[in-house]
Structure 1
Amino acid sequence: MVRRFRGESHHKVDAKGRVSIPASFRRVLEAGDPNWTDGLNPELVIVYGDERRKQLECFTMDAIADVERRIEKMPRGSKKRKALQRLYNTQSLPTSVDDTGRLVLPQKLREKIDLDNMAFFAGNGDTFEIWKPETYETEMDADLEGDDEFDPEADPSIYLDGEEEG
């Protein structure tokens, strides 16, 4: 069974940009890093994107490899491929978890999402996001508006019915 990022939590960010990763998230990072073995620190990729992104999106090595395979299938030179390459290859940071289970977020990334002393972690299955807690509170439902087939007032579990592919 594939491990998934689930749950949410708040973690303190120190002056050097170090933030503890939830223990369950570390297990997923280990499982998603083909080079990881006991005693090594799992690697990951943090996608920060351009000014439209208000969060950091963190990928296991397996998950980012899947994204890269999808991009490589697109026509070379196409605008969609260039945009995706820019996002996932250029506007990203390969890194690893340190020996104490923390990420070191460079100043550039902390400034980008206005992160100061507290970080909010949100599990998204194959990725997890790091947000400034106040930004997450105001943005978490913003992308759910404007779709005629979606009712933001309904329990989201109703959308599981009838959506299975054959």
Structure 2
Amino acid sequence: MFQGNQAINMDAKGRMAIPAMHRDALASACGGRIVMTAHTEDRCILIYPEPEWQDILPKIEALPTFNKAALRAQRLLLGYACAMELDSNGRVLVPPTLRNYANLDKKLMLVGMGKKFELWSEESWWASVADLDVDEELPAEMLSLSL
């Protein structure tokens, strides 16, 4: 389970290093093989351990293509999906198309989201968490949650 957030840097070649605490978990979960793709709602990147991606891939492929919202989600999730492998130093190259999609520059924020990560530009991350004006109602599952 991935949780917490870490400020990390991307080098001039577009490589980022996965922090050691997550690198070990990724190594045991998937041998360092990951899939990066576009988030459908936010300008960030989703990073899945390969086995997790393989579990949700059939669900994405099964979405109805005559529904415009579902087709858009397929185009983003499948169209941007890139299988990658961490190198021996725990680094991975973020593909240029995904860097452009998420407006990534040198300063990044890696956020653990349970079974996956989100990768944000640091600026976009702080803007997102500062945005307290949420237009949507909380789902019923949240209303019954005690923290």
TM-score by length of 2: 0.79
The residue identity in structure 2 corresponding to 1:160 is L
Go from structure 1 to structure 2 and tell me whether the alpha carbon gap of 1:134 and 1:26 turns closer, same or farther (over 3 Å shift). Answer: same
Equivalent in the alignment of 1:133: 122
Equivalent in the alignment of 1:13: 10
Kindly indicate whether residue 22 of structure 2 is the aligned counterpart of residue 48 of structure 1.
no
For 1:18 and 1:85, locate their aligned partners in 2 and report how far apart those are by CA, in whole Å: 26
Larger CA Rg, structure 1 vs 2: 1
Percent of aligned positions that are identical: 24
Equivalent in the alignment of 1:122: 111
Equivalent in the alignment of 2:145: 160
User: Pairwise mapping of residues 103-118 of structure 1 onto structure 2 (< 5 A)?
Assistant: 103-118=92-107
Equivalent in the alignment of 2:25: 28
For 1:44 and 1:101, locate their aligned partners in 2 and report how far apart those are by CA, in whole Å: 12
Structure 1 unaligned segments of length 5 or more: list them. 37-41, 151-156, 162-166
RCO higher in 1 or 2 (8 Å CA, sep ≥ 6)?
A: 2
How many pairs were matched up?
Answer: 143
TM-fit CA distance, 1:46? 0.6
The residue identity in structure 1 corresponding to 2:46 is E
TM-score by length of 1: 0.71
String of CA shifts for 1:28-64, please: whole Å, max 9, x gaps: 322332xx3xxxxx111111257x5311110111211
- Which has a greater percent of helix? 2
For 1:16 and 1:96, locate their aligned partners in 2 and report how far apart those are by CA, in whole Å: 16
CA contact (8 A) 2:15 2:93 kept: yes
The residue identity in structure 1 corresponding to 2:77 is Y
Structure 2 unaligned segments of length 5 or more: list them. none
Which ranges of 4 or more aligned residues in structure 1 deviate by more than 4 Å?
Answer: 72-75, 141-144
**Helix, strand or coil at the partner of 1:110:** helix
CA contact (8 A) 2:63 2:71 kept: no
The residue identity in structure 1 corresponding to 2:12 is A
